[in-house]
Amino acid sequence: MSDAPRKLFFRNTSNQPQQTPVAKQVNEQPNQETNVQPINQTKDLSQIGLDVVQPGEVSLQQTNVVCFNGVQQFYGLLVATNYQIVFSPQRFPTDFRKDYFQIPYTFLIKVDRSIDKKQNDSNILELSSKDGRQLRYRFQREQSDDCACLFNLINKNAYTLQKTTLFAFTFYKEMQNLENEFQGWKIYNIEKDFERMGVLIQQESQQQQMNVLYKYLNNEGGQICATYYNRLIVPAKVDMDCIQKTAKFRSKERIPILSYAFQVNGKMVSLWRSAQCRIGIGQIRSLEDELYLKQMSQQMVDEAENVQEEIRLKIFDARSDVNSIGQQVSGKGFENPMYYKNCSIEFLEIQSIHKMRESQMKLLKNSFSETISFISQLEISQWYEHIVLLIQGAVRISLSLTKEKLNVLVHCNDGWDKTPQLVSLVQIMIDGYYRTFDGFMMLIQKEWINNGHQFCQRSAIGNRQHSDDCRSPIFFQFLDCVYQMQQLYPLSFEFNVKLLLDLAYHHISSLFGSFLCDSFLEIQKQKVMESTVSIWSWMMKQKEKYRNAYYLNPASIEQEVIIPEQFTGKSVKLWQEYFLNYSPEFNDVYGIHPSSQFTRDNLQEMYKALAKENQVLRLAQLDQEKLAHLNQQKFNQLFQIIQESQNEKIIEKLESIQLT
C-alpha cells in the first residue's frame, strides 16, 4: 500500500506556490461556490493496491493521510470510491476487523473539516458513522487542496437528494444477472401468503360473496392510501364510500388492513394494522370508521348481532396513554370505547422514535468508549428497556390472539414505526413459517417495505441534518428484538444471527434498492425495482451462510407458537455481534466465532458425514451377520450328512471344529 502513488487523482501542488488554507474554522460546511471541483477521473481499485469491495466500485480520489481512532493513529492511503470511503493502513492492526476502515457514504451522519493550528495548520477531516465509528484524518498543510476536494466529494456522494445517484444503481449494472436469477423483488405474493394461512379472500372483480369475511382492495397508484401496498385486504362488507370516509378519518389515510389471520374451531382470528384516528379534543366521531371496526370484529360469516356487548376487538395503542391524549391537541388521538362498541383499548407505553434515537446514540457511543464503565452506561442508555417493552407488547398481542381468541388492531401515530415492529414480532411468535429463511424475508417485504415504513427518512439516507427528528433506528430495533427471540428459542429459527447482521448493515448501505424509499408507491415511481438489486436476491444466493445448524422444524419440537410470557429485563442479552462488532476486545483473532457458531458446514455436515459412515458400518455388520448365519446353516447340513454316513473318525474331527 505504501508504494501507491500519493496524488494520483489530485492536482500536483508540489510545484505551485503555497496557497492559503480553505478555512480556519471548525465544522466547515461544503462551499458550493468554491473553485475546488471534484475530479471525475476514475480508476480500478485493484490498480492502486486495494481489493474491489463491490462490483462496479472504482476509485475517484486518493491521498496519503494519518488516521486517528481514539488514542491510536495509523499511516496509510485514503481512497474515495463511488460507494464508500476506504482507508488502508500501511500496517493493518491484527485486532481490527478488515472492514473497520470502510464506511459507505450513506453511513455518514456527519462530515466536518477543520484546521489544527497546533499541528502546523494541518487539515482535519472528521467522519461520524451511523454505527458509532468516528474516524479523523489529518492532511499536511500542503495538502489543503486535496482535503477540500475530498471534503466536497464526500458531501456530494453522502448527501445526495437524487436516489438514482446512489451506488445501488451502479451495482445493478454489474449484478443484473443476480436479480434475474433469484427475482428478489417478486418474493412476496399477497395471495399465496394468505392462501397458506387458510384465509378465503374475495377478489376485487368479484361480486359480494356471502361466505367470505375479507376482500382485496385495489390501491394502485395510492388511490386510497399513498403509503400502503398496491393491494390491501379489508372487511368484505364495507363499501367504497365507507372505506374512503374511514381513510379521511385515519392519519395519512392509513386505514385498518389485514396483516394475518388463522382459523380456530370454525372462527377466523385476525390481526390488523392502521394509523391513529382523527378524533381530536372535540371527540369527533366517524360512523363509517366505527362501522369499519365493527366489521373487523367479526369472526364468522353468519355471526349474529352481539347483544351482550362482549369484547370482540381489542385495540392495542403502542403509545402511552399520556402521549395518545396529547395527540388530540393536533386533531388526532385514539378510539373511544364509548363509540366503538365491542371494542377495548390498551396502551403499550412504548416511547417515541426520538427516545429510540437518543438511546441508540448513547449505546453506540459507549460501545466505542475506552472507559471501564460500559455496564453502567449500557443501563443509562435505556436501549434494552425499549426492547423489553416492545417484546412484552408483542406478547400481550399474541396472547390476545391465541388464548383469548380476540381480533386485534395495532396502531401508533402513523402506523409505520412501532406498528410494523409489533405486528412482525407477533407473526414470528405465533407462526413458525415466519421463522424460516423464506418466511422472514417475506415478512419484512410485506410489513415493512410494501406497507410504508419510511426507510429513507428513518435511516437519513441523503440527509445532511445529523440531528434530524425524522431519523430513528426503528428497523434495527426490530432486528434486535428478533435477536432476543433467537437467544430464547435457538431451535426455532431456520436462520442465524448473520442474517440479522447483514440486514442491520445493508438497510443503510445503499447497496440494494430494497431500503431506499419510504413507500411502495415511491419504489414504483423511482423505478427502483427495474434498476436495483433486491437484497433478497443477494441473500438467496448465499442461503447456506445464514442457515442455523440447530434449527428443528416446529412440528418436531411441538413449538409452533413461541410466546415468551415471562420476558423481563433479566431475559435480554447484549447484541455483541453488532454493538461490539468493531471493538478489539470482542474481535476473535483466531476466526473461531464466525467459522463455528450457527454454521452448517461444521455441525450439520459433520453430522451427516458421521450418520453416513455409521450407516455404512451398520450395513457391513448386517452383511457379516448374514454371512455367518449362512455359513452356520451350511455347516449344520454337512454335519448331518456325515452323521448319517456313520463315519466315526470324520464325526469326531468335525465336533472339534468351532465355527466363528
* 474-503 pLDDT per residue, tens: 999 999 999 999 999 999 999 999 999 999
What's residue 37's pLDDT? 36
Give one word for 349, left, alpha or beta, with left for phi > 0 and alpha for psi -120 to 50: left
The single-letter DSSP state of residue 20 is P
Nearest to 4 by CA among 38, 37, 33, 46: 46
What's residue 658's pLDDT? 54
Collapsing DSSP states into helix, strand and coil, what is residue 492? Answer: coil
Which parts of 216-300 fold into alpha helices (H)?
Answer: 240-249, 287-296
- How far is the C-alpha of 135 from the C-alpha of 68, rounded, in Å? 6
Q: Are 165 and 532 in contact (CB under 8 A)?
A: no
50-54, 149-153, 189-193, 452-456: which range is least confident on average?
50-54
Residue 592 has pLDDT above 60, yes or no: no
Phi first, then psi, for residue 450 (nearest 5°) are -70, -35
What pTM value is reported for the model?
A: 0.83
Residue 25 has pLDDT above 80, yes or no: no
Q: Are 453 and 445 in contact (CB under 8 A)?
A: no
What's residue 465's pLDDT? 63
Place of cell 447340513: 637
58-62, 536-540, 601-605: which range is least confident on average?
601-605
Please give the share of the chain, as a percent, with pLDDT higher than 70: 84
Nearest to 288 by CA among 251, 247, 329: 247
Instruction: Indicate the pLDDT class of residue 7, thresholds 50, 70 and 90.
Output: very low
Place of cell 499511516: 75
* 374-413 pLDDT per residue, tens: 888 888 999 999 999 999 999 999 999 999 999 999 999 9
Cα dihedral 393, 398, 403, 408 sign: positive
- How far is the C-alpha of 547 from the C-alpha of 603, rounded, in Å? 11
The C-alpha R_g of the chain, in whole angstroms, comes to 32
What's residue 10's pLDDT? 33
The type of residue at 61 is Q
* 97-134 pLDDT per residue, tens: 888 999 999 999 999 999 988 877 789 999 999 999 99
Mean pLDDT score, 450-461:
94
Q: In this structure, which long-range contacts are made by residues 328-331, counting pairs with CB atoms below 8 Å and at least 24 apart in sequence?
A: 328/279, 328/280, 328/281, 329/281, 331/278, 331/280, 331/281
* 75-94 pLDDT per residue, tens: 999 999 999 999 999 888 87
- How far is the C-alpha of 114 from the C-alpha of 626, rounded, in Å? 86
Place of cell 446353516: 633
482 membership: H or E segment, kind and range: helix 474-488
The DSSP code sequence of 593-631 is: HHHHTT-IIIIIHHHHHHHHHHHHHHHHHHHHHHHHHHH
Please give the share of the chain, as a percent, with pLDDT higher than 90: 64
Q: Are 41 and 54 in contact (CB under 8 A)?
A: no
* 316-357 pLDDT per residue, tens: 999 999 999 999 999 999 999 999 988 999 999 999 999 999
What's residue 418's pLDDT? 97
- How far is the C-alpha of 236 from the C-alpha of 600, rounded, in Å? 46
Strands 72-81 and 58-69: antiparallel
Contacts of 429 (CB under 8 A, 6+ apart): 394, 395, 398, 485, 561, 562, 563, 564
Annotated active-site residue in 147, 225, 242, 412: 412
Residue 653 has pLDDT above 80, yes or no: no
Collapsing DSSP states into helix, strand and coil, what is residue 164? Answer: helix
First to last CA, the chain: 72
Mean pLDDT, all residues of the chain: 86
Instruction: Indicate the pLDDT class of residue 223, thresholds 50, 70 and 90.
Output: very high
Q: Is 412 noted as a catalytic residue in this protein?
A: yes
- How far is the C-alpha of 233 from the C-alpha of 157, rounded, in Å? 40
